[in-house]
Amino acid sequence: MSARPASTSPLVAIIGGGPAGLMAAEVLANAGVRVELFDAMPSVGRKFLLAGVGGMNITHSEAKAPFLARYREREGEIAALLADFDAEALRAWIHDLGIDTFVGTSGRVFPADMKAAPLLRAWLKRLRESGVAIHTRSRWLGWDKSGALRIATPEGERLVTADACVLALGGGSWARLGSDGAWVPLLEQLGVEVSPLRPANSGFEVAGWSEHLRGKFAGAPLKNVTLGLDGEAPRRGEFVLTEHGIEGSLVYALSAAIRQRIEQHGSAQVYLDLQPERTIEKVEALLSKPRGSASMAKHLHRQLGLDGAKAALLRELTTPADFADMNRLARAIKALPIELLRTRPLDEAISSAGGVTFEALEQNLMLRALPGTFCAGEMLDWEAPTGGYLLTACFASGRAAGLGALAWLRSAGSEQS
C-alpha cells in the first residue's frame, strides 16, 4: 500500500536516524515540508549515543585551517559543507536546544554534562513538535519498479512514494547499531559509484606480541608518547596495547595514513618516541650514568621514568645488543619501530572510509544517477580522526542534503506551475 496521505504539501523520506538524517529532517520540517524518517533499529541515534559513552565529544575548537586538514583528501568537499555550518555554528545550534557546551583542555568540545542522551532527547522532542514522523524498526530495502521506497516493518512491507529522499545510512562499522553497509549493492546496481568501505579510526595488528607482553600488558595505556609515520607529522598523545597490536586516539589520528601505507606496501612502519620531552642526547646522557648494581629495569625507571607497559614494549622490540649500547638504546627509545600488518576488522572500527563518492553527487549532495535522492553523513566517501571531526561533518552534510532536497522541491514546484 502507499503510505502517502492526500496532501498538497510535498513529502520527503529520510532513511537513517543518525545525526545526518535527523539534521536533514530538521531543515526540511522547518521549511514546512512533510518529513517521514525511517530507521531500521528500535530507536534512532544509537551510534550517536555510543559515541557519548565516556564523554560526548561533539566537535573541536581547533582553528579553521588545521580543522579542515583533518579531512585529508576530501578537505575541499568537506570545507564546502562546513562553510555554512562549522564547529561554531554547531555549538550555537546545541545551545539553542538548551544544552551548554565547554572546551576541554585538549580543545575538544563537550556538552556541559558530557552526555549524549539529554541532547538527543531535546532534539527528538523538537523534531516531533515540528511534525517529523519517526518510524523505527523500518528497514529500507530499495525501490520498487514504480520508484516507491520499499520499507520492511514488523507488520510487513510498506511502500512510500515521496517527492524527494535523503539517504543517511551510515558507513560499515558497528553493524549492531545499524551501520551495516547493506545499502552499497542497492546503489551500485543503479550505477552509483561507491568506494569500498574500509576501517577508519581502527586498531592495527602486528605479527604477534610475545606471550609475556600479550598476557600482562594487553589493555595497558601508553601515555604522553609521540607516534610518527614517514611523510606524516608526528602526533603526541596516548594509545593502548591490545592482544593483537595497538589502538587508541593517537593511533586513530594516523589511521588513514597507516591504512593507506599498508594498502600500498603490505605493511606500515610507525615510530614511537617514549620520551618526547627529552632530546636523544639527553636520553643517552641519562642512560650513560653509572648504575652500579642496579638492574637495567631499575636504571630505566630511575633515570627516565620508563617502566610498566613502556618498558615492556621497549624490551619486546629491541635486542640484547641494543641494551648493551646506550647510544643504540637511546635511539630505540626515541624512535621505536613498530611494524603494522593490517587493520582490525571493519565492524570493530569507530568509523569507516569509503562510500558514495563526491563525483557521483551534484554540489547539493544529490545523486547524479538518481535525481531527487540525496546522500549525507558517513555513507559519503570521506573520513576524519576522532575528536569531534566526524560528528561535525555528519551534521553539516545532513544540513546540506536537507537544503539540497528543499531546493529540488522548490525547483520541481516552479516547473509544475
Average pLDDT, the chain: 94
Q: Which residue carries 576530501 as its cell?
A: 74
Domain 11-200+353-415: CATH superfamily is FAD/NAD(P)-binding domain (3.50.50.60)
Rounded CA separation 101/87 (Å): 12
Supply the pTM of this predicted model: 0.91
How confident is the model over 26-70, as pLDDT tens digits? 999 999 999 999 999 999 999 999 887 778 999 999 999 999 999
* pLDDT, tens only, 321-369: 999 999 999 999 999 999 999 999 999 999 999 999 999 999 999 999 9
Query: Inter-axis angle of helices 280-287 and 296-304, to 10 degrees?
Result: 130
Question: CA 264 → CA 234, 250, 258, 260, 269, distances in Å?
Answer: 20, 22, 10, 6, 12
Report strand pairing: 373-375 vs 164-167. parallel
How many residues appear in the chain?
417
Model confidence at 2: pLDDT above 80: no
- Rounded CA-CA distance 41/48 in Å is 13
Cite the DSSP H helix spans in 32-113. Answer: 46-51, 64-69, 75-82, 87-96
Pick the more confident residue, 360 or 179.
360
Q: Is 374 left (phi over 0), alpha (psi -120 to 50) or beta?
A: beta
pLDDT in tens, 99-128: 999 999 989 999 999 999 999 999 999 999
pLDDT at 165: 98
Mean of the pLDDT values across residues 155-179?
94
**Which residue in 219, 210, 213, 208 sits closest to 242, CA to CA?**
219
Indicate if the pLDDT at residue 3 is higher than 80: no
Q: Hey, what's the cell of 314?
A: 621497549
Share of the chain above pLDDT 70, in %: 97
Tell me the C-alpha to C-alpha distance, in Å, between residue 13 and each of 211, 344, 365. 53, 35, 15
Q: Where are the domains of the chain?
A: 11-200+353-415, 204-343
